Amino acid sequence: MAKGTVAYKIIEKHLVSGRLIPGEEIAIKIDQTLTQDATGTMAYLQFEAMGVDRVKTELSVSYIDHNMLQTDYKNPDDHKYLMSVAKRYGVYLSKPGNGICHQVHVERFAKPGKTLLGSDSHTPTSGGVGMLAIGAGGLDVAAAMAGEPFYLKMPRIVGVKLTGTLPPWVTAKDIILELLRRLTVKGGVGKIFEYFGEGIKELSVPERATITNMGAELGATTSIFPSDEITRAYLKAQGREEDWIELLPDENAEYDEVIEINLSELEPLIACPHSPDNVVPVREVEGVKVDQVVIGSCTNSSFVDLTRAGKMLEGRRIHPDVIFAVAPGSKQALELIAQEGILLNFLKAGARVLESACGPCIGMGYAPPSGGVSVRSFNRNFEGRSGTKDAKVYLASPEVCVASAIAGEIIDPRRLAEREGIKWIKVQMPERFPYGDEAIIPPLPEEEAKKVEIYRGPNIAPLPEFDELPTEIQGEVSLIVGDNITTDHIMPAGANILPLRSNIYAISEYVYHYVDPEFVSRAKKIRDEKGIANIIIGGENYGQGSSREHAALAPRFLGVRVVIAKSFARIHHANLINFGILPLEFVDKRDYAKFSLGDEVHIPELIDRLKGGKEILVINKTTKEEIACKYSLTPKQVSVLLSGGLLRWIKNKQKV
């Protein structure tokens, strides 16, 4: 047991039920929540359906940062709905242009020792200030706003010991890329990564937040740093020293496992297409011609990142063949680089300055050219996520990005620095950040809030109703996919699809759109004409990537009742359950090959077996084979599945 660690202490303090033994179900109290617009509209529709009069958390924030394009009424409708619903229910609202949720949360709201549940997989970013910050589906976040605890399996707490000192041109991004190189995108499942050791003393809060942010790519439950004097100085500069508490691991803290990284031995790294764990030293891919470079996203767009990048560009020009853009992570970061003159360096170098939002990271504009190479300071490079299916996206530190933008090809920044005489700088934290919060709307007092009318434009569709889990399932295999299917594969993003996030009827038309464009019509036929369930067969790590619950909700709407996979990614597994889809795993992974498209399937005695904790037999009626399946469900998850999903489960509970 990882007693005495920072994560353990926070969990212990927030424990509502369960024992702190890895793998056992625990429930923890949630202090803060965050939502962003792409997941938030659905989360607030679900919150409304719970019939609660005002959020019950200490603090909840609704960010508008994802769907920023206003090419028709859809996104503005969503934004106006979110603004009115925040007013009505006691939620802070961060307006479009104020910045990316995680960046702004670290700056303005994250508190050491507290818990945060966010409807975005990069919520762990706030672990950079010693907060236990977890990403979940929107329905889980809605439940937390309604006062429900958050249920999870007690993770193993892995200590990441940082020793040595980072050499010049090697950054926080390289620390997390090194961990991804070693552990892969599945290496963090069921784990919390807690950083300690001498090496953390030279990392500022924004640098720590880069590391906790991209811990999400490891599949980790969350990542966390202690809250020390560096955290205190940062919060003081944000005008929030009173939010600081010291939170360090005990001298004799025990971790379930320890990984050591000697910072002195690291070098600039890069994740090659199409996975964040496809990591190699930059020098190994030098010379690859670059079409586009972007600095931004919730991973690397802080004041520190922008300052270093901007200083490298001072007196220099972007290569003529490269289009370079910078999207500051927040209005505060933008304001600061404007004050310090750094913004001018970008402009003079020929950069395009984008607004403070997710933008290119979620395929909202700024897609690379066909077959083009884009080097980005982001966290994900799954195929097609950029908006261009055959683009090759590389992920690296802002320093590698700028070096490559100047050279016109991927280059180790150390080599470019030597060639061009560029000096490495240590960025000093400002004594006072510009924290005016001009674009943050605080909650209204309760009585006033009750009078607010919620705006529902035509883009806001009512929630569909789902039924309970049947006692047995008759179904048909409507899709078979391979390993590492991402939520982007299941429910793509992009400028045409994202605006439909608050309309489940419309967005369901895009499920598995790029993987199998026939899937939707096949699924509807099985649902409507045959009147049976859709069954999906998946490989390893099914549903990795973002927390978007639409990747579970939309398939459920199309009639998917069961996904049988070799293994599941954590958040998606929870989302499937939340929407009443049964996630089953093959007892023998080779049985994956025993299914073909169109096979008829019968799952008998489903409820009895689930209640009794017994293996589930899936009968392939077409081949006449019986396939043994297991499941990893807590008692609460079984109860949610039997109810037909979390919303029904909460409503049933309210009736009692």
CA–CA dist 467, 29 (Å, integer): 29
- Residue 488 binds ligand SF4, judged by CB under 6 A: no
Q: Pick the catalytic residue from 37, 60, 62, 66.
A: 66
x-or-dash pattern for ligand SF4, window 101-120, by CB under 6 A?
-x-----------------x
Q: Which residues contact 529 (CB under 8 A, 6 or more apart)?
A: none
Q: Which residues contact 173 (CB under 8 A, 6 or more apart)?
A: 210, 214, 269, 299, 300, 377, 396, 397, 398
- Residue 362 binds ligand SF4, judged by CB under 6 A: yes
Q: Which two tokens stand for residue 54?
A: 């005002």
**Is the separation of the CB atoms in 553 and 559 below 8 Å?**
no
Catalytic site residue 53? no
Residue of 52, 86, 100, 318 that binds ligand SF4 (CB under 6 A) = 100
What is the closest distance, in whole angstroms, from the C-beta atom of residue 565 to ligand SF4 in the complex?
24
What is the closest distance, in whole angstroms, from the C-beta atom of residue 454 to ligand SF4 in the complex?
25
# residues near ligand SF4 by CB under 6 A: 11
- Residue 544 binds ligand SF4, judged by CB under 6 A: no
Residue of 297, 332, 502, 575 that binds ligand SF4 (CB under 6 A) = 297
Catalytic site residue 120? yes
What is the closest distance, in whole angstroms, from the C-beta atom of residue 76 to ligand SF4 in the complex?
19
Residues between 117 and 136 that touch ligand SF4 (CB under 6 A): 120, 122
- Residue 200 binds ligand SF4, judged by CB under 6 A: no
What is the closest distance, in whole angstroms, from the C-beta atom of residue 363 to ligand SF4 in the complex?
9
The residue (of 393 and 564) whose beta carbon lies closer to ligand SF4 is 393
Q: Enter the DSSP assignment of 421.
A: T
**Is the separation of the CB atoms in 587 and 595 below 8 Å?**
no
x-or-dash pattern for ligand SF4, window 46-75, by CB under 6 A?
--------------------x---------
Q: Pick the catalytic residue from 546, 547, 567, 643.
A: 546
- Residue 298 binds ligand SF4, judged by CB under 6 A: yes
The residue (of 122 and 240) whose beta carbon lies closer to ligand SF4 is 122
Which among 459, 463, 651 has a CA at the least distance from the CA of 553?
A: 463
What is the closest distance, in whole angstroms, from the C-beta atom of residue 174 to ligand SF4 in the complex?
19
Q: Pick the catalytic residue from 37, 65, 277, 488.
A: 65
CA–CA dist 362, 355 (Å, integer): 14
Residue of 57, 379, 478, 487 that binds ligand SF4 (CB under 6 A) = 379
What is the closest distance, in whole angstroms, from the C-beta atom of residue 36 to ligand SF4 in the complex?
6
The one segment of 132-140, 354-362, 400-408, 569-577 that binds ligand SF4 by CB under 6 A: 354-362
The residue (of 298 and 402) whose beta carbon lies closer to ligand SF4 is 298
What is the closest distance, in whole angstroms, from the C-beta atom of residue 586 to ligand SF4 in the complex?
31
The one segment of 171-179, 225-233, 358-366, 384-392 that binds ligand SF4 by CB under 6 A: 358-366
Q: Which residues of 195-229 are buried (b: 16+ CB within 10 A; e: fewer)?
A: bbbebbeebbbbbbbbbbbbbbbbbbbbbbbbbbe
9-to-1, 19, 135, 603 alpha-carbon distances in Å:
12, 13, 19, 43
The one segment of 5-13, 105-113, 356-364, 479-487 that binds ligand SF4 by CB under 6 A: 356-364
Look at the block and give the residue holding tokens 């790590």.
541
Helix axes 550-557, 570-578, angle to 10 degrees: 40
Tell me the three state secondary structure of residue 35: strand
Q: Pick the catalytic residue from 376, 548, 550, 570.
A: 548
The one segment of 86-94, 355-363, 557-565, 597-605 that binds ligand SF4 by CB under 6 A: 355-363
The residue (of 218 and 526) whose beta carbon lies closer to ligand SF4 is 218
**By CB neighbour count within 10 A (0-12 exposed, 13-18 middle, 19+ buried), where does 429 fall?**
middle
Catalytic site residue 319? no
What is the closest distance, in whole angstroms, from the C-beta atom of residue 386 to ligand SF4 in the complex?
11
**Is the separation of the CB atoms in 124 and 135 below 8 Å?**
yes
**Is the separation of the CB atoms in 532 and 475 below 8 Å?**
yes
- Residue 361 binds ligand SF4, judged by CB under 6 A: yes
Q: Which residues contact 167 (CB under 8 A, 6 or more apart)?
A: 263, 264, 266, 267
Catalytic site residue 243? no
Catalytic site residue 432? no
- State the alpha helices, DSSP H only, in 460-549: 487-490, 504-507, 519-524
Q: Which residues contact 544 (CB under 8 A, 6 or more apart)?
A: 185, 186, 219, 484, 485, 486, 487, 569, 572
CA–CA dist 101, 78 (Å, integer): 16
Residues between 404 and 423 that touch ligand SF4 (CB under 6 A): none
The residue (of 118 and 644) whose beta carbon lies closer to ligand SF4 is 118
Catalytic site residue 274? no
Residues between 601 and 620 that touch ligand SF4 (CB under 6 A): none
Q: Pick the catalytic residue from 380, 414, 527, 561.
A: 380
Q: Pick the catalytic residue from 77, 120, 140, 243.
A: 120
Q: Which two tokens stand for residue 89?
A: 């229910």
Q: Which residues pair with 593 in a beta bridge?
A: none
- Residue 82 binds ligand SF4, judged by CB under 6 A: no
**Is the separation of the CB atoms in 382 and 399 below 8 Å?**
no
Q: Which residues contact 578 (CB under 8 A, 6 or more apart)?
A: 137, 139, 140, 549, 552, 640, 645, 646, 647
Q: Which residues contact 212 (CB under 8 A, 6 or more apart)?
A: 124, 125, 126, 127, 128, 133, 222, 223, 224, 225
Active-site residues: which are they?
65-66, 120, 380, 546, 548
Binding region for ligand SF4 (CB under 6 A): 66, 100, 102, 120, 122, 297-298, 358, 361-362, 379
